[in-house]
Amino acid sequence: MSQDEEGARESWARTTAHHLVDGALAASERSARTHPSPDQIALLREIARRALSHLPNSDDELKNLRDFLAAENLRRPLPGDDEPPWP
């Protein structure tokens, strides 16, 4: 498979996953809130659990996701933080 084909598959998968999770959150009828409700947290947790259980190398995927999320959380300001000093 060429890099272009692999990139297209990855893009399709990310977009599809985005729509699926948004649809699941909309189905819980609480997606307008700023913070996820307990039922949304349970829903997202179960989606993640079931998705990981279908991957052949779920242990490695989970480690990679943990590293990715740790890096992403460092980039996001925490509620109540001051504005960043740069424009």
Q: Is residue 80 part of a domain?
A: no
Bigger pLDDT: 30 vs 17? 17
Confidence of residue 69 (pLDDT cuts 50, 70, 90): confident
pTM score: 0.61
* Number of domain units in the chain: 1
Q: Is residue 84 part of a domain?
A: no
Q: Is residue 87 part of a domain?
A: no
CB 37 within 8 A of CB 30: yes
CB 32 within 8 A of CB 40: no
Q: Is residue 85 part of a domain?
A: no
Q: Is residue 10 part of a domain?
A: yes
Given the structure tokens 């829903």, which residue do they identify? 43
Q: Is residue 48 part of a domain?
A: yes
pLDDT tens for each residue of 22-58: 888 777 765 455 677 788 888 888 988 998 888 899 9
Q: Which domain holds residue 71?
A: 3-75
Rounded Cα distance between 69 and 63, Å, is 10
